[in-house]
Amino acid sequence: MITYPFTYKRAKSVAEAETLLKATSESKLLAGGQTLIAAMKMRLANPPELIDISGIKELNYIRVGGGQVAIGAATIHYDVATSAEVAKAIPALAHLAGVIGDPAVRHKGTIGGSVANNDPAADYPAAVLALGATIKTNKRAIKADDFFTGMFSTALEDGEIITEIAFPIPEKAAYKKFANPASRYAMAGVFVAKFKDGIRVAATGAAPCVFRVPEMEAALAKNFTPDAVANIAVDASNMNSDLHGSAEYRANLVTVMAKRAVAEAA
Ligand SMILES: Cc1cc2nc3c(=O)[nH]c(=O)nc-3n(C[C@H](O)[C@H](O)[C@H](O)COP(=O)(O)OP(=O)(O)OC[C@H]3O[C@@H](n4cnc5c(N)ncnc54)[C@H](O)[C@@H]3O)c2cc1C
């Protein structure tokens, strides 16, 4: 049997994680392990060293104030889903965290791991983009519009550790997803956010990477009702197509989920 040995280290602080990352090339941060451990089991990843950041206290918090909800990168989905403060400030965000995967995934998976991974079918990227969140790292702050660069790809550089995601609090917001019945990942999920100065709409699950829908944003700015988006279709030629659903099916789901999200938010 072929074995793939690796060392495991548990960091106690962001500074320690940073030092450990620098020390071994191709070492990987481990948060909830819900993606990374599965990838290693399937031999899709073979890092020589894992640096576990899940126990770092300074990465585990939810703070509401100053017009934003700030969540530490190692905060698990369950804590966001059940936070009374998040439910009060941005109920759509608590709802989104509560429909990720299943209870086991929600008790291990973290917001930082989800955003860093940028799975095309992940839920958090839709909230990050639609709410115009800021992704804070050990080196800088990155605007959501600059962060998601493609399928499983982000603006993160080598050695960069997400420390916090800061979400501006909107006037209204809602997230609706059509989940794959087996994995619970989004076949299509749409997050709609209404701010004093405009509307932002982001779709996940349907295309190789989360994306904004400017036509819907413009229509909703004039008329914030489900009817305003009912006849707006995204281009099927940019959507994913696989055994779970065709590109045309996913494009249609984006419109349907957008209508439902606006109905809920309104
Ligand atoms: C059965 C199943 C169902 C799921 N269903 C859904 C779903 O419905 N919706 C959904 O959105 N997700 C779903 N997920 C994914 C899950 O929610 C996790 O969020 C996701 O796997 C990554 O988070 P993690 O904390 O487990 O990260 P890990 O697996 O530990 O890490 C993932 C990647 O992110 C990097 N990383 C982790 N933390 C940081 C950080 N702070 N800074 C920089 N890089 C970092 C790691 O090095 C690694 O490359 C599902 C997973 C499983 C196994």
Give tens-digit pLDDT for 127-151: 999 999 999 999 999 999 999 999 9
**Taking Cα atoms as reference points, which of 25, 20, 23 lies closest to residue 48?**
25
pLDDT at 254: 98
From CA 254, how far away is CA 188, in angstroms rounded?
Answer: 6
pLDDT at 246: 96
The answer to whether residue 259 is domain-embedded is yes
229 in Cβ contact with 255 (< 8 Å): yes
Query: What is the CATH classification number for the domain harbouring 17?
Result: 3.30.43.10
CB of 189 within 6 A of ligand 1: the answer is: no
Pair type for strands 7-10 and 162-168: unpaired
pLDDT at 2: 75
From CA 177, how far away is CA 125, in angstroms rounded?
Answer: 13
Q: Look over the chain and give the mean of its residue pLDDT values, rounded to a whole number.
A: 97
The answer to whether residue 168 is domain-embedded is no
Mutate to test the pocket of ligand 1, among 105, 183, 210 (most ligand atoms within 8 A of CB): 105
pLDDT at 3: 82
pLDDT digits (tens, 9 = 90+) for 95-123: 999 999 999 999 999 999 999 999 999 99
The answer to whether residue 96 is domain-embedded is no
CB of 164 within 6 A of ligand 1: the answer is: no
CB of 101 within 6 A of ligand 1: the answer is: yes
**How many angstroms does the Cα of residue 117 sit away from the middle of ligand 1?**
6
> What pairs with residue 254 in β-bridges?
none
* Atom 38 of ligand 1, residue of closest alpha carbon: 113
The answer to whether residue 140 is domain-embedded is no
pLDDT at 12: 98
pLDDT at 4: 86
pLDDT at 26: 92
pTM over 0.75: yes
Structural domain harbouring 245: 181-266
The answer to whether residue 165 is domain-embedded is no
pLDDT digits (tens, 9 = 90+) for 231-266: 999 999 999 999 999 999 999 999 999 999 999 999
3 in Cβ contact with 25 (< 8 Å): no
From CA 245, how far away is CA 40, in angstroms rounded?
Answer: 27
**185: number of Cβ within 10 Å:** 19
pLDDT at 72: 98
The answer to whether residue 149 is domain-embedded is no
Average pLDDT over residues 184-204: 97
The answer to whether residue 116 is domain-embedded is no
The answer to whether residue 23 is domain-embedded is yes
CB of 35 within 6 A of ligand 1: the answer is: yes
Percent of the chain with pLDDT over 90: 96
pLDDT at 121: 96
**Is residue 1 over pLDDT 80?**
no
Number of domains in the chain: 2
**Is residue 61 over pLDDT 90?**
yes
